[in-house]
Amino acid sequence: MSDFGSLLKKIFIYEEKVKDEGFILKDKASSASSDIDTIDEGSDDNNESGKNSKSSSSMQRDEPDPQKKPVSIDIENNLINIKKIFSYPDNSDFVIRKFVINLNSKNTKTFVVFFDGLVDRDVVDRDILQPMMVMSQLKDVQCKGSPVNCILRHLLPQNQTKLYDNFEETVDDILTGSCAIFVNGSSQVIISDVKGWEHRNVERPNTEMVIRGPQEGFTEIVRINTALIRKIVRDDKLIAENIPVGKRSKTPCTIMYIKDIANKRLVDEVRRRLKSLNVDYVIDSGEIEQLIEDNTFLPAPQVLATERPDRVASLIVEGRVAIVVNGSPFVLVVPVTLFELLRSAEDTYIRFPYSNFVRFIRLFGTVLALILPALYIAITTFHQEMIPTDLLLAIENSREKVPFPSVIEILIMELSFELIREAGVRIPTPIGPTLGIIGALILGQAAVSASIVSPILIIIVALTGIGSFAIPSFSLSFAVRILRFIYILLAALAGFLGITAGLFILLLWLASSKSFGVRFLAPIAPLTSDDLTQVLSRAPIWKQEMRPDFLNTFKRKQQAYISRSWINRGKNKRVR
């Protein structure tokens, strides 16, 4: 009967179902309040357990940070502290190896710690564990003083070792691929550099391809990148200064400069900006570029990012400072001007007539990418008298069936072109170029056949896209692509007047901007003692005697007045 009664109750009496919301990610305040409500609804035992948990949590809050503790003489205390810091055994890739060594005819407790995958396990086994565990037992090591010094002198063949007396520096080195050796009876820990993680080999650069010149590119390992630069700049004054960035990530960064060439104030400013970054994590050099640039709203980049070691080396010998970031194949160079962004690494390796020709083509492509669509809009909308009559009739005849005004026409095609370009970058590499070519051909032909756009507009958009590809700097190309849409709108509103006003405002903005104390339009605005003919062109290499004046380097001259001494034949010598 009870079952029958419950069945009738379910049929005739409505009961609202409790909604199961599943897992909800709550903030700390709400989760803490829910925990308190749960404790209040429970029994007395739960209240006591809640009090115990509160007291334990308060004790954990009062406990000092284990990284702030010094290394103890007692090895058990060090082991407990290491386990707390690295959450052992929750961290499955963290390795603790305990053993004993024979020092002064006594067994001394020792343990090593490292992260599996960050170290070379063969080096750890061969050069650390085997000498300490086997050699100490085969011969009676007798020494006075600290046990760690005895190990360094008699047992450890590693060449890159350091001694620390605190856990903070020890933890930083362990996280970067080092092995820490703790010995009972010593208040110091031995750090051995045994990095061995998997990384990409040195390959050809992907974004700055050249025909003439070195074919090496940077990798994601900071020490490999500094070695590639030092291999080119074989100067004993070349400094590689390490600066970790990020409060938690402590990303290794290295600033490189030539001590007796680079301006000391420039080096100090770069060091100050990097050390003053108050962020938790830094993953790539692009983040550092955005954090140290002078004006974050300026369209043009104020830091040069390149993946070519030869270009970084050439800029360093001029007196600039390079910033190498671990985990990024792009090295940052400061300061930089607009004209440096328009140059390619290949300009130095080819003869100056060829270099001047490709520079002119590059500058022409930049101008086309920036204002060609705007000029088309201004001429066809406001200034038809500037077009020859035959060309004007041809343009009007091609636009006879197009239902949109010129500005809508060109915006449709420009946005379509940018969409194809972005899609080509995101899809797999073998398909990307094919999609870009086929997509542009099919889309352009279909748009003309459907009378959505005119044929001449396809030519305008194609020339604009090709011009943007001629810009050597990827970041500057982005700036030109964005500014192009602004000039299209200005041309649609006021014709040549709008374009002129936009160019005037942009030049004022660029002239007032700086990159690490250097004017962005130097040496033209302001004028310096540099040869202005070398701003957009290039003189023969034997005439490039001076470093840029706006860098204010310690040594202005970079080669002799007569660098080709073989043509002098000892007559009419002229020394400066």
Please give, one letter per residue, the 3-state secondary structure of 362-391: HHHHHHHHHHHHHHHHHHHHCCHHHCCHHH
Q: Angle of helix 309-318 relative to helix 222-232, nearest 10 degrees? A: 60
d(CA 258, CA 239) in angstroms, rounded, equals: 6
| Each residue's pLDDT tens digit, 520-533 | 998 888 877 666 77
**Residue 237 has what pLDDT?**
94
d(CA 367, CA 471) in angstroms, rounded, equals: 10
Q: Specify whether the backbone of 313 is left (phi greater than 0), alpha (psi in -120 to 50) or beta.
A: alpha
Distances (CA, A) of 404 to 244, 411, 455, 512: 56, 11, 14, 40
Residue ranges per structural domain of the chain: 75-193, 222-336, 352-519
Distances (CA, A) of 440 to 292, 305, 372, 409, 487: 38, 30, 19, 16, 23
CA atoms 523, 526, 530, 531: torsion sign: positive
Closest CA relative to residue 75, chosen from 168, 185, 176: 185
Is residue 79 within 8 Å of 111, Cβ to Cβ? yes
d(CA 467, CA 464) in angstroms, rounded, equals: 5
Q: What is the DSSP annotation of 212-258? A: SS------S-HHHHHHHHHHH---TTEEEEEEEE-TTT-EEEEEEEE
**Residue 575 has what pLDDT?**
45
Is residue 262 within 8 Å of 320, Cβ to Cβ? yes
Is residue 443 within 8 Å of 416, Cβ to Cβ? yes
> Token digits for 175?
């996280």
Which residues, including other chains, have CB under 8 Å from residue 70's CB and lie 6 or more apart?
165, 166, 167, 187
d(CA 161, CA 181) in angstroms, rounded, equals: 10
Q: Quick check: bond before 523 cis, omega within 30?
A: yes
Is residue 222 within 8 Å of 325, Cβ to Cβ? yes
Run of H or E including 414: helix 406-426
Which regions of the chain are under pLDDT 50? 36, 38-39, 41-43, 45-46, 48-51, 53-60, 575-576
**Residue 434 has what pLDDT?**
67
Report the SS3 class of residue 197.
coil
**Residue 569 has what pLDDT?**
59
Q: Roughly how many angstroms between the first and final C-alpha of the chain, as a whole number?
A: 118
Is residue 182 within 8 Å of 189, Cβ to Cβ? yes
Neighbour count for residue 92 (Cβ, 10 Å): 8
Q: What is the DSSP annotation of 456-510? A: HHHHHHHHHHHHHHT-S-HHHHHHHHHHHHHHHHHHHHHTHHHHHHHHHHHHHHH
Amino acid at 333: V
